[in-house]
Amino acid sequence: MTRFQNLPHYALCLTLLAGAVCAFAEQSPPTKDGEKADAKAEQRAPLAERSDLEALALERQLAATEQQQLDAAGTPFLALWRPANDPAPMGAVILIPGDEESADAPPTIGPLRRKLPDAGWHSLSLTLPDPQGANLPVRIAEPPASGDGKAAEAPTEKPAEPATPAPPSEAPAPDAEAARAAHVERVFARIDAGIAFAGQQQAKVVVLLGHGSGAYWAARYIAERKPANVTHLVLVDTRQPEGFDAPFNDLLGQLTAKVGDFYYRDSATARQAALARKQLSQRQKQPTLVQISLDALPGNPDVAQEQLFRRLRGWLDKHAGGAK
C-alpha cells in the first residue's frame, strides 16, 4: 500500500526532470552543428590540378637525374631534362605539350624528349598548368554504390531555371576573361623558366617545339615576348586551345623565327589548315615556313614516332645549325 502512495511523488519528479531537459535544449545555440560544418568546409584544401597530380606520378616513375624543379614567377613546377649525348651539343629543344598532356606524354612528347639527346640536342620538357579556356572540365562526383555492388541510379532532375534570366551578352564574363589572362601569364612564366634553364646549360641554339595546343602557346610566346635567344619554332599537329580567340594564323604573321610546320596529311582539316598557313607565309616575308607532311599510322605507333623524329632531325640539321 505504501508503494502505491509514493507514485504521485515519482510522477512529479519525472515531470520536473523533463522540464529541465527542455529548458536546457532551448538554451543551446541551434546553429552549433551548422557552424562546425562551415568551419570544416573552410578548412578543406582546394583540389589539386590534374597537371600537378601527373607531375607527382612522373616524379615517382622517373629517375631523379631527369627531374628539374624550375621556378615560374615563384611557383615551382616539374620539367624533364636530358642532356645531349654528344661532347659538343647542338643546342636545346624545349618541348611544350598540349593542354591535356604531361611532360612525358605519348605518342609525341615522351618519345621525342628521349630520342633528341642521341641526335646531339638537349631536351627539356615542360609541365603546363591546367587549361583555362571557355568550357572548363567539371569534376562530377560518382554516385554511391548500392549494396549489390552496382552504382545506385538517382533520378535525373531538371535544374531549376532562374526567375529572371540574365540578358545575353557576346562579351565574355569578366571573371572568365581574367582567368584566361592569368593562364596566359602562367604558361609564359613556365616557358621563361625553361629558356632560362637552357641558357644556364650554355645552349648555343634554343628551339621551342609545341605539340597540339602547345604549338599555339609556343607561337604566341614568341609573337608576344619576342625572345632574342629563340629564333626557331617547331609546330607539331597544331591546334587552337578552346576559349582563346586569337587566331593562330594571326600569331604566325607576327613571327620572325624559322618555323618547321609538321602536320598529318591523313586529316582533311589538318591539310586545309596547313594550306592556309603556307599561303600566309607566301604573302609576306616572314616567317620562314617549311612544311613537312606526316602519315598518322595509328596501327603502328613505333613507326609513326620514328617517322616524326627522323623528319624533325632533318629539319634541325638543315635549319637550326644542327648539321655537322
What is the tens place of the pLDDT at every residue in 157-169? 444 444 444 454 4
Q: Which of the pair, 22 or 261, is modelled with greater confidence?
A: 261
Whether residue 125 is contained in a domain is answered as: yes
Sole residue written with cell 568551419: 39
Question: Which pLDDT band, with edges at 50, 70 and 90, does 132 fall under?
Answer: confident
Distance of CA 294 to the CA centre of its chain: 26
Assigned domain for 208 exists: yes
In a domain, 246, yes or no: yes
Domain-embedded: residue 3: no
Indicate yes or no: pTM above 0.95.
no
**Does residue 220 sit within a domain?**
yes
- State pLDDT tens for residues 280-300: 999 988 778 999 999 999 899
Give the residue numbers spanning the domain of 279.
50-130+173-319
**Closest Cα to residue 110, out of 101, 118, 119?**
101
CATH number for 272 = 3.40.50.1820
pLDDT in tens, 36-56: 555 555 556 666 788 888 989
The Cα–Cα gap between 27 and 19 comes to: 13
> Is residue 33 in some structural domain?
no
In a domain, residue 99? The reply is: yes
9 in a domain, yes or no? no
Q: Give whole-number Cα distances, 324 to 11, 66, 118, 230, 235, in Å.
A: 106, 27, 14, 21, 24
Number of domains in the chain: 1
Q: pLDDT digits over 62-115, tens only?
A: 999 999 999 999 999 999 999 999 999 999 999 999 998 999 999 999 999 999
